[in-house]
Structure 1
């Protein structure tokens, strides 16, 4: 577990990846799978939501995210036309339950802010999906203290993300710490 006192005291900015650092990515994925399974059962009456969620959860744990939709469609014989809806959920779903931070992260972020330091999120992946995750995390008072950057967006603009953040915040690169998990 990360503790504030484990970091050098001279750092002005703490930059965190989102997935697996701030919160467990699995928590987001399972809620998306649950929403998709509910949608599919409501639309087609088959497969039963619980069976599809169980399959998706097991696939995630054993084989990861890759080809999860295709394997589910093959196993449960549902139409591939639902893939667009499945993918759309990742960027605009309203989650039934807030995402909780990993153990000790809220305390770490609070200690950083209490010491007058800046916290940033620098996250990889589809910016719309990452923003949706950020919206569903239970930040509390920390929400107003965050500055968020998207790796994919910065790289698309041919910018090196950490250099960009240092320039924007007007700090030297040795004045921040990047926690990437």
Structure 2
């Protein structure tokens, strides 16, 4: 699978910062596994709905209406109590995924090219930091495994909460000029 938004990356910058979701890997690969786990949890807990039925329904809602609608639609159709929203949110943050998350093929090749050229790579990601770290834990880095410890992780929401201007902050962190940074999101 290829990320059509990321073409060949020029090697004219010193630091390359990537978003996680839908840039390094398809976010839906994570969410669909979470929906399956939620369905299994709900079936085990309540016994009223089959896990696959609930997971497939949530998948369809997600694909056609977005992540924010998946629980509400399932709640309405399957009569799920509101108290289970917290369980879904907890799973999204801490899920033990059954399958690894695969990087987009072309992104993996571009990252490899960047590392071989001794470029600095960061992940600059939005969203719940616990959830984003959990996603990172399940990525199959494949040929990039030797480099993964070199990747620095930054959380946009935390930086903004601290009223930190992101680009100047990254430039300072990496000791480069601002125009030596490229953010891919």
Q: Same fold (TM over 0.5)?
A: yes
Give 1:95's aligned residue: 97
Count matched residues. Answer: 178
Give the counterpart of 2:138 among 136, 139, 159: 136
1:92 and 1:132 in contact (8 A); partners too: yes
Give 1:175's aligned residue: 180
- Give the secondary structure class of the aligned counterpart of 1:97: coil
TM-score normalised to structure 2 length:
0.92
Give 1:75's aligned residue: 77
Distance in 2 of aligned mates of 1:120 and 1:161: 12
Give 1:85's aligned residue: 87
TM-score normalised to structure 1 length:
0.94
How far is 1:114 from its partner?
Answer: 0.5
Give the counterpart of 2:158 among 150, 153, 178: 153
Post-superposition CA distance 1:88-143 (Å, at most 9, x none):
01111111111000121111111101101111000011111111111111122232
Give 2:123's aligned residue: 121
- Give the secondary structure class of the aligned counterpart of 1:66: helix
2:16 and 2:120 in contact (8 A); partners too: yes
Give 1:12's aligned residue: 14
Q: Runs of at least 4 residues of structure 1 off by over 6 A?
A: none
How far is 1:3 from its partner?
Answer: 4.9
